[in-house]
Amino acid sequence: MENRTLEERLEAAERELADFEHQPPLGWRAYQRGRNERMGIVLALKRQLEDG
């Protein structure tokens, strides 16, 4: 994996979350599981940036 800054990783994770939310419908549980997983990544990266 290439070296990326936290900001770049956060931007990529936010794009992935947005892309996931705009894909064709899944079953509700699959959607929630995938969204929660991606949101967890976004929140963890934001926390890392804030902690510095």
pLDDT of residue 36: 94
- Tens of pLDDT, residues 1-52: 467 899 999 999 999 999 998 887 778 888 899 999 999 999 999 999 999 7
Residues 6+ apart with CB under 8 A from 45: 6, 9, 10, 13
Read off the tokens for 17: 């979350």
What does the alpha-carbon distance between residue 49 and residue 51 come to, in Å, rounded to a whole number?
A: 5
Q: Token match 């929140």: residue?
A: 43
CB 39 within 8 A of CB 21: no
**19 three-class SS:** helix
pLDDT of residue 25: 77
Read off the tokens for 18: 């947005």
